[in-house]
Chain A
Amino acid sequence: MNKVITINLGGNAYQLEEGAYDLLRGYLETAAARLRNNPDQEEILSDIESAIAEKFRQRLSGQKTVVTARDAATALDEMGPVQADAETGGAAQPDGPGRTAEPAAEDPAKPKRLYRIYDGAMVSGVCNGIGAYLNIDPTLVRLAFVLLAVFWGMGLLTYLILVVLVPVARSPEEKAAASGLPPTAQEFIRRAKAGYYEAVKNFQTHRQGRAWGRWFRWHACAGANPWQSPWRGGWAPSATGCRPWVGFAVLALALLSGALTIAWLCALTSLLATGLVFGLALPAGLPTWAAAALLLLIYGTLAGSLKTARWLSWWCHDSSGRPPAGALLAETVVWLLVTLVLLLLAVHSFPELRAAVQAVPGVAHQATDAIQKWWQSR
């Protein structure tokens, strides 16, 4: 039993087994890549699609309505590889397998390069590209950036710098170089599927849940020490008296920081999309990037003080002078939950916001392209 995919070839619908579809897509993508510099690329590809459609038609009948992988393989074999350049192409040897030497583009020792990859990207493809470059799951890279941004603010800066400096992989060759893999069609299909999967899966899967857990435990260990020493002496002795309000304070502060994060995200989005912050125009002469930096500064300052306040509440709670590792974890989890719940509620109750969230990847792509163009034009 095989899955069937319906496609449009030369204006007619055909039903293909999944294997046949993969083969066809691979063939057409390779053909498109080889004809990249051909001014008539579009036309040749459409001719080739029509020719394939005719071959499929010959293999179908009233009883047989689905093109099998075997049908597709023989049809594509009859088509023969698409020649990059008519000058170098030519007659297939009648008594040979009909394969001429591959064009020089498929150099096996292709160097790896860091690119941004839009296929399956969440924002601007930076994490996707790094994942491909290092051959690891881009979700892990995203997590690393999110955590770096949340705890030290460095992630955001690094991200913005990478957006400006790293080019986008657009051609199949560049996409191949991004992961150091040969630009074969099968590989693209696999990556495209992986990218799609990447884009649709959410944060509730077990694997990601475990990854979050690992990251937080790691952070809890690494982050605890620098925070302990400066506050230990002054606060620990007087801490016992403030216990009753600690629970409320932590919750209120977490709510406040969650709301602050959302407000900051909204402000940044509206700034990038419309040039206005909550309906207010920027002061004259202030460029957008400066406004974004200012917003980041304000957010950082407010979030920093709130964070300190939350830490102090925990300090009050535990008079031993040592914050329990669980407290650090719980504190972060509370903050994340509050942010997530607020975000979900907001998205749920305002249709405009939902539309805006869905438009984020597109807007982000445009924005990052604009930033990069501006950078290169200097």
Chain B
Amino acid sequence: MNVNEKFSGIRKGLLEFLVLQIIAAEKVYVADILKQLSTTQFATQEGTLYPLLSKMRREELLDYEWQESEAGPPRKYYKLTPKGREQLRDTLQYWMEINDTVKRLGQR
């Protein structure tokens, strides 16, 4: 079992956090999110992302609006709600703590 497989569960859990972070930076549509993730360890597909976004919207972490595009039909652009920003802040905080723990433990 290589590292990639070992971390698949952790990646799954972190995907929501990363999506929050991407959307926090600017209003994006799904293809943007996929493109930003595609070069990372978190590359994913529409089949996974749409259900995740819909769940996050149900939890009121994000919202979307329709915007016309130059090519093709209008697209859904996602943005964070105040609750989403709060959640991102908390998660980021927690992630820093985990990071510190990883660095600190075992060092004398």
Residues of A within 8 A of B (CB): 10-12, 31, 35, 38-40, 43-44, 47-48, 50-51, 53-54, 57, 78-96, 98
Contacts and interface: CB of A to CB of B under 8 A. Distances in A.
A10 B49 CA distance: 18
Contacts of A54: 31, 72
Nearest to B57: A40
Given A47-B54, A96-B4, 12 more contacts: A40-B54, A51-B30, A53-B73, A54-B31, A79-B45, A83-B48, A87-B55, A91-B42, A91-B43, A93-B4, A93-B8, A94-B43
Interface in B42-68: 42-48, 50-52, 54-58
22 contacts: A10-B73, A43-B54, A47-B54, A47-B76, A48-B47, A50-B73, A51-B46, A51-B50, A79-B47, A80-B48, A81-B47, A86-B16, A86-B55, A86-B56, A89-B52, A90-B13, A91-B11, A92-B45, A92-B48, A93-B4, A93-B8, A94-B41
A51 B30 CA distance: 9
Which residue, A40, A88, A94, has most C-beta atoms of chain B within 10 A?
A: A94
Q: Is the interface of B mostly helix, strand, loop or mixed?
A: helix
Nearest to A57: B72
B47 A90 contact: no
B15 interface: yes
A95 B51 contact: no
B76 A91 contact: no
B83 interface: no
A38 B54 contact: yes
Q: Is the interface of A mostly helix, strand, loop or mixed?
A: loop
Contacts of B54: 38, 40, 43-44, 47, 86
Interface of B: 4-5, 8-9, 11-13, 15-16, 30-31, 37, 41-48, 50-52, 54-58, 72-73, 76
Nearest to A87: B55
Contacts of B12: 88-91
Contacts of B57: 40
Contacts of B76: 47
Given A47-B76, A90-B13, A90-B15, A35 B45 contact: no
A90 B48 contact: yes
Nearest to A41: B54
A79 B46 contact: yes
Which residue, B8, B12, B51, B52, has most C-beta atoms of chain A within 10 A?
A: B51
B46 A48 contact: yes
B47 A83 contact: yes
Contacts of A89: 12, 48, 51-52
B73 A12 contact: yes
A82 B50 contact: yes
Nearest to A95: B4
The 8 closest A-B pairs by CB, nearest first: A90-B12, A80-B45, A80-B47, A86-B55, A86-B52, A40-B54, A82-B47, A91-B11
Nearest to A27: B47
Which residue, B44, B50, B54, B57, has most C-beta atoms of chain A within 10 A?
A: B50
